[in-house]
Amino acid sequence: MNQQPASVSATRQGSGLSLNYGYGTDRGLRRELNEDSFIASDPVFAVADGMGGHEAGEIASGMCVRALAAIPQLATGERSVTAAILQQYLVRADTAIREATGARAGTTLTGAVVVEQMGMPYWLVMNIGDSRTYRLSQGRFDQISVDHSEVQELVDAGQITALQATVHPRRHVVTRALGTGDETEADFWLLPVEEGDRVLVCSDGLNGELSDEHIFRLLATAGSPQECVDALIQAALRSGGRDNITVIVVDAKNVMNDAGVATTAPRRGADAEDENTLPRSQSPHATTAPLPHQVQQAAAADSEDDRSVDSDAVARDADATEGAVDNERS
């Protein structure tokens, strides 16, 4: 693997919040193309997993992250975006993807946007599809996002266990995505940023290879965010690398309260409109992943030993493409 790593530290004046983050992407060992795209530019960290094949998936995921980059508040680095604004741009992305690909391609999207309300920082987590956002906070590891998938619906209905879901023949079928004509409404969660938080954002090429317990161990023991990213990707490759793997890890430091004192106390006053779904209760999984200060398109490597995106790469412009797509990724 010839991976292009990055490690970034950024401090925003005012809140004093410092975000340290790293990122990485890999085509994997079996896929011809890397159809993942990602964006990391404070305040937004997100991963999109394209589906469709014949380059259609990378078009869909690239259009999705470019739609996020076009949001004025995110483009200027403001921490004032809302769930309603994010949803508005996701609807636009859905329309653009369907028009560009003839509804033959789609993409998931998950990630976290740092927002400030009443002078305090929050993670505004978003999700549509089965990519995941985790958080390791004060010793607790939680999967924040909830998969939009057939197997998750079966788990919620008590028809199968979470362990059975990992080997179920329909485990790759998503029930929400952008660009496919399915439901396009994202779920949102608003969580206070706590001192020492570590957030992980990833495509299912990671959690499809590693158990949540394995992910937790690596998140909890790796040093810097970039070291954590590298360890996670290498572990997924050793486990089989059957899909594209994209990982972002973000660490939060110097979290201050209104009096300028570091705090881990619960916050009050966050807007209820920015949360429409509760996290899966008592999930023993979570983490966060960071990305670079730009939109990045994971590109297919020219050789088996070069599978990762150049850190200066930008998501490619979408072109109409041949090929059919359904919501099942093999």
Angle at 218 between CA 212 and CA 224, to 5 degrees: 135
Average pLDDT over residues 92-108: 94
How many other C-beta atoms can be found within 10 angstroms of the C-beta atom of residue 260? 9
Q: Which two tokens stand for residue 92?
A: 């636009």
| Beta pairing, strands 6-11 & 18-26 | antiparallel
Average pLDDT over residues 38-49: 94
- How many CA atoms within 13 Å lie on the side-chain side of 281? 1
- Provide the H-helix boundaries in the chain: 56-69, 72-75, 83-101, 150-156, 162-165, 204-207, 212-221, 225-238
Residue 295 has pLDDT above 70, yes or no: no
CA dihedral 59, 61, 63, 68 (to 10 degrees): -170
Amino acid 306: pLDDT: 34
DSSP letter (8 states) at residue 285: -
Specify the residue for token string 């789609």: 106
Amino acid 262: pLDDT: 52
Q: For a pLDDT cut of 90, what percent of the chain falls above it?
A: 58
In a domain, 91, yes or no: yes
Q: Which two tokens stand for residue 120?
A: 């305090």
In a domain, 35, yes or no: yes
Q: For 104-130, write each residue's pLDDT tens digit.
A: 899 999 999 999 998 899 999 999 999
Of 248, 166, 241, nearest to 211 (Cα)? 166
Average pLDDT over residues 262-291: 41
Q: For 120-157, write each residue's pLDDT tens digit.
A: 999 999 999 999 999 999 999 999 999 998 888 888 88
Number of domains in the chain: 1
Q: pLDDT higher for 287 or 246?
A: 246
In a domain, 57, yes or no: yes
Average pLDDT, the chain: 79
CATH code of 238's domain: 3.60.40.10
In a domain, 1, yes or no: no
DSSP state letters, 99-125: HHHTT--EE-EEEEEEEEETTEEEEEE
Rg (CA), the chain: 18
How many whole angstroms separate alpha carbon 231 and alpha carbon 225? Answer: 10
Amino acid 315: pLDDT: 35
In a domain, 189, yes or no: yes
In a domain, 114, yes or no: yes
Domain holding 69, by residue range, is: 18-253
Amino acid 171: pLDDT: 79
| 197 band by pLDDT with thresholds 50, 70 and 90 | very high
How many whole angstroms separate alpha carbon 133 and alpha carbon 45? Answer: 10
Of 198, 53, 47, 52, nearest to 129 (Cα)? 47
Q: pLDDT higher for 311 or 33?
A: 33
Q: For 243-270, write each residue's pLDDT tens digit.
A: 999 999 999 999 975 545 555 444 444 4
Angle, nearest 10°, between helix axes 83-101 and 56-69?
Answer: 150
In a domain, 36, yes or no: yes
In a domain, 25, yes or no: yes
Q: pLDDT higher for 44 or 183?
A: 44
How many other C-beta atoms can be found within 10 angstroms of the C-beta atom of residue 274? 21
For residue 13, the SS3 value is: coil
